[in-house]
Structure formats: structure tokens, C-alpha cells
């Protein structure tokens, strides 16, 4: 049954304003992509109820789901409707400044949805930090910005009425099976062998490989007409003699070469267990057409799968079995069954790339000290040196010291020049005004790089104590110093403490911190002083001074002598009442305002 609720009717637990009788109604679900509903309804006596922001309740694989109508196209005979999950109404929640600090995914979701009617669920336990500023709640959860939950924590999303679920993965492996490889119009098949590997030459840290050009072959190598060889590098497999002192917990240290060879063979076998010897296959399955086939029993398990489920697919022609994920489903809400689906070995590539970037970063960063792991940085440098050494070994000596490549036709797509020589590389895309030479821009020499743009991931010093992660915008500097002024358009946000502690030359073991409101040396400032043996040996002096022109308040503690000084040339005022100064004779009463004498009778 498909029901409609008017925009004013929010009692979704009861029956709607009417039952609709559409000619077509299908829901589309896709992993980490669009969920929507498309419906076609005749222009009958119920058509007037179909308006923008009305809510539809429809059957689905997740039970009854609510969708809000956002687009209508009316023709002479019917109305075409596009609606989106009810949770999209959370766009009305605007966030000025909320933060999830060192939190798991569920905590971050609760920060975003706090105080609203929307709920959340997540099984992602890894910790991260995210600042939600000037965005709505849906953007904070699934926006294409760095500070969104899906970018920081990853996972896969389901929009279930007023609840959002973000789990490590949607669906499950319930043992569903299917057999493809027939010549069927109802099954579209795309096979990609570009990343296939059936023969591995494993390489360890420092370039060690198996002896006598030995390879590790896949059990499926004979299923293909030719082998697919690749070198797999395992920088974490090391001879103990080669390992630095700063090894990580992922490192496998081997006492002998035989131990190292055994570890390499095991690592290669694990690659095949993870499916590198199977092609990437995508299937698009039309369940309606498939149901008419005599061998429909081979596909019956597909009737009950849900988004994200694993399906074990046997491919008759290739003679292999692959594990496919249900990447999308089109569900017929009238017939209440799956209309079509897509199966694939790749799950929504973009979000996997986000996860890959995060996992790589975590392997490089030592979270206990907040520095880049020195041996990882050294490994990158060593690898670069190894590549350049290999390049040098195969290079052919030339009589010339530099070469110029140029395309002088301004209309050409390859217009530009590159000068390559023993002193470096120069690149240009512009001629000088006289058109006699190139205006060289990008330059690389032995010591430096000059360019308008450098696009990279992590910039780090050689020790890993200072680095800038371009992907996340995080600048980490351990025991570093900023020189010059720090100007920002917005406020500066401090973590737990703001510590101002400049050593004083004329204080024994003393420190001083100064905050100015305005320019340096402004008359409006706060001074904090902490000194030993001042103003004489044996004294412990602590003080805070608030200064605003001629007015100041001082709080001091000198050994056991604790004082508060107020210097106000024009007197002290409380709640608009000035305090009295002088000698008075009291005949009737005193007027006291918050401890200050403000009147005498």
C-alpha cells in the first residue's frame, strides 16, 4: 500500500490522507550514492493531494519508508514525481559551530543531531576529530567537504526514515549464490582484467626477492590463457640486520634470509586469498526478465538480498567464483520485489579512496607522539634514492649537457617548452613580449623547487617532527616556533590551555606573559607574572594585572601576603552608583551597594 501525507500531516504512525494507485513506483538504493523514489500517478481524484513537500509511505526492502516529494512534472495524463528520503528534512538544522573531538562516529553523529527529532546509529569505533561550521546537518554528515562525517570516519550510509545509519559496511554475507556466464539478455556483464595478477614476484625491504627468480603462482593461473605477473612490495618484511631502531608494530623482522623468503611467500599467498587473481566483474541484472528463464533457480537467492550484501557468483566460462557486493537495487514498490540490481567487486570507489588515504596516513603518523614515523619517512627517501639509482644504471650517456623541447605554435594543445639538463629542469607555457624566448616558470634543481602550484599529500621535514597534511588541512609542529604576526579572518581557537611563558632576564626562575587588546604595547592589556627570588631572595611573587589606560586592577601574592589593588582616578562605580571618597558623619544611615558605600545620611 502506498500512502500520501499532506505537508501539514506529520502523524506518520497512523494512516495517511489517502491511498495512491500509481502506474509505476520504484525506489533506487545505491551504496554511498543517491537514494530516491520515482513515481508516475494518473490524474485521478487523488492527484490534487500530490504536492511539493507531501510525504509518501511506501513498501521497501527496509520495511515502510518515508519519502518527501521534491519535484513534480505534470502532463496531460499523469504526474511524474521525484521524492527523497525523509531524513533529508534534517537540512533545516543549521550548525554554526559544533565539534566532535577525538570521538567515534556515533558520538560525532549525536553532536550533529543533538536536540533534533532525528536519530542515528553506527558501529564505526575509530576516533577522529571534525569541526562542523556554517553547514546544515545533512552536509555535516554526508557533504563533499573535508569536515563531514563520511569524509573523516568513512563507512556506508543508509537513510531509514528519521534515522541515519553509518556502518563499516551495509549488508552482510548470508551465503547467497548465483551462477552467471550464460549468454543472457537479462544479465549485462562487464569484465576488467587490467588489475588481474596470477603470478607474484614478492619484494621485501631493501630490495630482497626470492632466489633464482622464483615466483608465487595463483591456483587459478591455468584458468587464463596467459600468466599475469606483477611485483608486490612488502616494505614491512625486513631482515633484522637492516631494521632501524624505530620499527613499527606492522614490521615482520626475519633473522635469516630463509625466514625472509618464507615470509614473502606467505604474503603472496595471502594476496591470492584476497582475490587479486580474479578479475573485476560488474553485473547488471534485470530480475523481471530473469524470472522467465527455465534455469531461474540459479538466481533465486537474488530475490532476498539487500543493499551491500555479498553474493557468491560462479562464472561458468571463466571457471572461477567471485564475491560480489550488491551495489545498487531498484525496488518495485507496487509488486514489492526487486526489479533490477547491480553487483560488483568494487564498492563505490570514491569513498574507498577516502578510506585508503586515511589508512595510509595512519600508518605514517605515530599517534602517541603526533609525529611522522621517522623510519617511514626514511623509507620514502630510501625508496626514492633506490628508484633514482636504478634510473642512473639504465641511463645512456649523452654528449650534450642539456636538451630543449618546445612547441612554438600558440594554437597547439602542447604549446610550451621544457629544458632538461645537468643543472635541473625548467618548464614554461608563456613567451616573452618580444617572442624571442620563453618565460620560465616551474624550475627544479638539485636543492629546490620553484612553481606556482605544488599539489601533494604530506609535506614533512626529514625527522617527521613538522608536517603539513594537505588532504586534511592539519599542521603539526612539535616544539616549534611561529615567527612574525599570525593574522586570521576568523577567531583563533585554542585547545585546553593558552600558555604564555616568556622567561624574564631580571627574574630568577621567573616567567611573564602579556596579552594586548589592540596593537603591541597597547594601554589595554593583561599581564601575568610568576617569579621566584623577587624583589629579593627568598620571595615568591605571583601577580595578574588588568590595565585599561589609567585604570588598573592588580591581584598579587607575595609569599603569604595576598592583595587586591584597584587604581581608578575617577572612583569606583557599581551598578551605576559611584562610591564615596572622604570623611563623613553618619547621623541616620549608610547606603551600601554590593559592598561599596554609595550614600550617607
**Tell me, what's the pLDDT at 73?**
93
Task: With CA atoms as reference, report the closest residue to 260 among 285, 234, 299.
Answer: 234
Decide which of 248 and 75 is more confident: 75
Q: How confident is the model at residue 311 (pLDDT cuts 50, 70, 90)?
A: confident
Query: Residue 198 CB: number of other CB atoms within 10 A?
Result: 22
Backbone φ, ψ for residue 135 (5° rounding) = -155, 160
**pLDDT at 575 exceeding the cut of 80:** no
**Tell me, what's the pLDDT at 183?**
47
Q: How confident is the model at residue 320 (pLDDT cuts 50, 70, 90)?
A: confident
Mean pLDDT of 273-293: 74
Query: What pLDDT, in 10s, does the model give residues 42-60?
Result: 999 899 999 999 999 999 9
CB 287 within 8 A of CB 303: yes
Q: How confident is the model at residue 2 (pLDDT cuts 50, 70, 90)?
A: very high
- Of the listed ranges 63-77, 140-154, 388-402, 552-566, the least confidently predicted one is 388-402
Mean pLDDT of 147-176: 92
Q: Work out the mean pLDDT of the chain and round it to a whole number.
A: 81
The gap from C-alpha 558 to its chain's centroid, in whole angstroms, comes to: 52
Decide which of 34 and 492 is more confident: 34
Query: Residue 66 is inside which H or E element, if any?
Result: strand 65-74
In the chain, the percentage of residues whose pLDDT exceeds 70 is 79
**Tell me, what's the pLDDT at 234?**
93
Decide which of 472 and 566 is more confident: 566
Highest mean pLDDT among 212-216, 371-375, 428-432: 212-216
Task: With CA atoms as reference, report the closest residue to 278 among 192, 180, 172.
Answer: 192
**Tell me, what's the pLDDT at 368?**
42
**pLDDT at 499 exceeding the cut of 80:** no
Taking CA 39 as the corner, what is the angle to CA 34 and CA 41, rounded to the nearest 5 degrees? 165
Sign of CA dihedral 383, 389, 393, 399: positive
Query: What pLDDT, in 10s, does the model give residues 404-450?
Result: 888 888 888 888 888 888 778 888 888 888 888 888 877 887 777 87
Q: What is the dihedral of CA 397, 398, 400, 404, to 10 degrees?
A: -110
- Of the listed ranges 28-37, 302-311, 391-400, the least confidently predicted one is 391-400
Query: What pLDDT, in 10s, does the model give residues 21-38?
Result: 999 999 999 999 899 999
How many Å apart are CA 543 and CA 406, to the nearest integer?
A: 70
**pLDDT at 576 exceeding the cut of 80:** no
Highest mean pLDDT among 209-218, 479-488, 526-535, 552-561: 209-218
Mean pLDDT of 520-539: 76
Q: How confident is the model at residue 488 (pLDDT cuts 50, 70, 90)?
A: low
List CB contacts of 302: < 8 A, sequence separation 6 or more: 176, 178, 285, 287, 290, 311, 338, 341
β-strands 199-204, 229-234 pairing: parallel
**pLDDT at 354 exceeding the cut of 50:** no
Mean pLDDT of 264-287: 87
Q: How confident is the model at residue 509 (pLDDT cuts 50, 70, 90)?
A: low
β-strands 577-578, 573-574 pairing: antiparallel
Decide which of 99 and 567 is more confident: 99
Q: What is the DSSP string of 487-523?
A: --SS-----S-----EEPTTSEEEEEEEEESSSTT-S
How many Å apart are CA 425 and CA 361, to the nearest integer?
A: 30
- Looking at the chain, the number of H-run helices and the number of E-run strands are 7, 43
Mean pLDDT of 51-77: 94
What are the beta bridge partners of residue 157? 166
**pLDDT at 286 exceeding the cut of 50:** yes
**Tell me, what's the pLDDT at 392?**
47
Query: Residue 349 is inside which H or E element, if any?
Result: helix 349-364
Task: With CA atoms as reference, report the closest residue to 355 among 223, 159, 168, 544.
Answer: 168
Mean pLDDT of 141-162: 92
CB 483 within 8 A of CB 495: no
In the chain, the percentage of residues whose pLDDT exceeds 90 is 37
Q: How confident is the model at residue 344 (pLDDT cuts 50, 70, 90)?
A: confident
Is 19 strand, coil or helix? Answer: strand
Is 338 strand, coil or helix? Answer: strand
Looking at residue 588, what DSSP letter applies?
S
CB 305 within 8 A of CB 341: yes
Task: With CA atoms as reference, report the closest residue to 492 among 505, 502, 482.
Answer: 482
Mean pLDDT of 92-98: 93
Decide which of 35 and 480 is more confident: 35
Task: With CA atoms as reference, report the closest residue to 331 among 71, 53, 39.
Answer: 39
Q: How confident is the model at residue 505 (pLDDT cuts 50, 70, 90)?
A: low
How many Å apart are CA 236 and CA 239, to the nearest integer?
A: 10
Sign of CA dihedral 52, 133, 29, 336: negative
How many Å apart are CA 272 and CA 195, to the nearest integer?
A: 13
Is 462 strand, coil or helix? Answer: coil
CB 513 within 8 A of CB 502: yes
**pLDDT at 121 exceeding the cut of 90:** yes
From residue 1, alpha-carbon distances to 54, 56, 339 in Å are: 16, 10, 17
**pLDDT at 552 exceeding the cut of 60:** yes
Q: How confident is the model at residue 394 (pLDDT cuts 50, 70, 90)?
A: very low
**Tell me, what's the pLDDT at 184?**
53
Decide which of 127 and 493 is more confident: 127
Mean pLDDT of 366-390: 48
- Of the listed ranges 26-30, 157-161, 383-387, the least confidently predicted one is 383-387
**Tell me, what's the pLDDT at 495?**
64
How many residues can be counted in the chain?
601
**pLDDT at 363 exceeding the cut of 50:** no
Amino acid at each position: 500500500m502506498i500512502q500520501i501525507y499532506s505537508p501539514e500531516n506529520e502523524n506518520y504512525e497512523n494512516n495517511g490522507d489517502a491511498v495512491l494507485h500509481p502506474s509505476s513506483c520504484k525506489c533506487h538504493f545505491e551504496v554511498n550514492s543517491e537514494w530516491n523514489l520515482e513515481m508516475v500517478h494518473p490524474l485521478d481524484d487523488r492527484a490534487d493531494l500530490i504536492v511539493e513537500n507531501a510525504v509518501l509511505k511506501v513498501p521497501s526492502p527496509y520495511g515502510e519508508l518515508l519519502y518527501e516529494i521534491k519535484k513534480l512534472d505534470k502532463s496531460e495524463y499523469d504526474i511524474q514525481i521525484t521524492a527523497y528520503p525523509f531524513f533529508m528534512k534534517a537540512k533545516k538544522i543549521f550548525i554554526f559551530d559544533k565539534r566532535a573531538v577525538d570521538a567515534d562516529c556515533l558520538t560525532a553523529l549525536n553532536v550533529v543531531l543533538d536536540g533534533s527529532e532525528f536519530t542515528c546509529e553506527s558501529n564505526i569505533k575509530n576516533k577522529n576529530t571534525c569541526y562542523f561550521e556554517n553547514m546544515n546537518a545533512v552536509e555535516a554528515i554526508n557533504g563533499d567537504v573535508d569536515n563531514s562525517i563520511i569524509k573523516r570516519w568513512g563507512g556506508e550510509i543508509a537513510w531509514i526514515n528519521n534515522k541515519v545509519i553509518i556502518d563499516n559496511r551495509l549488508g552482510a554475507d548470508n551465503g547467497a549464490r548465483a551462477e552467471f556466464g550464460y549468454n543472457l539478455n537479462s544479465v549485462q556483464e562487464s569484465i576488467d582484467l587490467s588489475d588481474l595478477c596470477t603470478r607474484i614476484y614478492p619484494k621485501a625491504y631493501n630490495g630482497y626477492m626470492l632466489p633464482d627468480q622464483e615466483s608465487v603462482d595463483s591456483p587459478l593461473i591455468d584458468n587464463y590463457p596467459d600468466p599475469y605477473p606483477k611485483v608486490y612490495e612488502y616494505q614491512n618484511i625486513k631482515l633484522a640486520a637492516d631494521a632501524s631502531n624505530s620499527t613499527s608494530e606492522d614490521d615482520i623482522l626475519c633473522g635469516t634470509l630463509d625466514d625472509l623468503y618464507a615470509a614473502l611467500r606467505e604474503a603472496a599467498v595471502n594476496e591470492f586469498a584476497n582475490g587479486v587473481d580474479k578479475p573485476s566483474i560488474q553485473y547488471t541484472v534485470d530480475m523481471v526478465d530473469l524470472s522467465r528463464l527455465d534455469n531461474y533457480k540459479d538466481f533465486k537467492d537474488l530475490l532476498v538480498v539487500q543493499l551491500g550484501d555479498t553474493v557468491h557468483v560462479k562464472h561458468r566460462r571463466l571457471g572461477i567464483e567471485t564475491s560480489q557486493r550488491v551495489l545498487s537495487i531498484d525496488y518495485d514498490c507496487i509488486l514489492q520485489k526487486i526489479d533490477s540490481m547491480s553487483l560488483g567487486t568494487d564498492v563505490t570507489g570514491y569513498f574507498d579512496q577516502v578510506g585508503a588515504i586515511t589508512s595510509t596516513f595512519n600508518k605514517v603518523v605515530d599517534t602517541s607522539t603526533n609525529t611522522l614515523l621517522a623510519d617511514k619517512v626514511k623509507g620514502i627517501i630510501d625508496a626514492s634514492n633506490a628508484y633514482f639509482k636504478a634510473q642512473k644504471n639504465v641511463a645512456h650517456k649523452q654528449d650534450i649537457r642539456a636538451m630543449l623541447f618546445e612547441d612554438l605554435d600558440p594554437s597547439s594543445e602542447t604549446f610550451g617548452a621544457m629544458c632538461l639538463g645537468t643543472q635541473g629542469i625548467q618548464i614554461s607555457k608563456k613567451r616573452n613580449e618580444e617572442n624571442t624566448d620563453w618565460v620560465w616558470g616551474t624550475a627544479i634543481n638539485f636543492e629546490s623547487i620553484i612553481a606556482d602550484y605544488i599539489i601533494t599529500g604530506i609535506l614533512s621535514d626529514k625527522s617527521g617532527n613538522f608536517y603539513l597534511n594537505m588532504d586534511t588541512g592539519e599542521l603539526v609542529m612539535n616544539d616549534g616556533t611561529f615567527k612574525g604576526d599570525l593574522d586570521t579572518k576568523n577567531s583563533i581557537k585554542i585547545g585546553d590551555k593558552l600558555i604564555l611563558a616568556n622567561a624574564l632576564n631580571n627574574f630568577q626562575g621567573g616567567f611573564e606573559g602579556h596579552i594586548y587588546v589592540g596593537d603591541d604595547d597597547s594601554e589595554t592589556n593583561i599581564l601575568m607574572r610568576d617569579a621566584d627570588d623577587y624583589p629579593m631572595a627568598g620571595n615568591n611573587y605571583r601577580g595578574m594585572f588588568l590595565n585599561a589606560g589609567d585604570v588598573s586592577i592588580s591581584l598579587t601574592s607575595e609569599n603569604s601576603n595576598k592583595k587586591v589593588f584597584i587604581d581608578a582616578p575617577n572612583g569606583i562605580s557599581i551598578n551605576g552608583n559611584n562610591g564615596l571618597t572622604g570623611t563623613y558623619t553618619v547621623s541616620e544611615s549608610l547606603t551600601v551597594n554590593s559592598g561599596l558605600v554609595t550614600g550617607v545620611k
